[in-house]
Amino acid sequence: MAAENGNKPRVLSGIQPSGNLTIGNYLGALKQWVAVQHDYDCFYCVVDLHAITVAQDPAELRRKTRESAAIYLAAGIDPEISTVFVQSHIPAHSELAWMLTCMAPLGWLNRMTQFKDKSAKQSQESIGAGLLNYPSLMAADILLYHADLVPVGDDQNQHLEFTRDLAQRFNHLYGETFTLPSVMNPQAGARVMGLDNPTAKMSKSEASENHAVFLLDDLARARKKVMRAVTDSHREIRFSDDRERAGVNNLLTIYQAITGETQEAIESGFANKGYGDLKRAVADCVVGTLEPLQARYNELMNEAGYLDSVLKIGREKAADIANDTLKLAQARMGFLASS
Ligand code: TYM
Mean pLDDT over 132-147 rounds to 98
Measured in Å, residue 152 CA sits from the centre of ligand 1 at 6
Domains of the chain from N-terminus onward: 10-185+304-333 (3.40.50.620), 219-299 (1.10.240.10)
pLDDT digits over 175-206, tens only? 999 999 999 999 999 999 999 999 999 999 88
pLDDT digits over 244-280, tens only? 999 999 999 999 999 999 999 999 999 999 999 999 9
pLDDT digits over 281-338, tens only? 999 999 999 999 999 999 999 998 999 999 999 999 999 999 999 999 999 999 999 8
- The model's pTM is 0.96
Quote the percentage of the chain above a pLDDT of 70.
98
Spell out which residues line ligand 1, taking CB within 6 angstroms.
12-16, 24-25, 27-29, 47, 50, 138, 141-142, 150, 152-153, 155-156, 159, 189-192, 201-202
C-alpha–C-alpha distance, residues 320 and 90, integer Å:
10
Among this protein's residues, is 118 annotated catalytic? yes
Among this protein's residues, is 201 annotated catalytic? yes
pLDDT at 7: 82
The residue to mutate among 12, 13, 15, 197, having the most atoms of ligand 1 within 8 angstroms of its beta carbon, is 15
C-alpha–C-alpha distance, residues 258 and 48, integer Å:
28
Measured in Å, residue 74 CA sits from the centre of ligand 1 at 18
Measured in Å, residue 131 CA sits from the centre of ligand 1 at 15
pLDDT at 1: 45
- State phi, psi for 150 to the nearest 5 degrees: -130, 100
What crossing angle do the helices spanning 129-144 and 157-174 adopt, rounded to 10°? 70
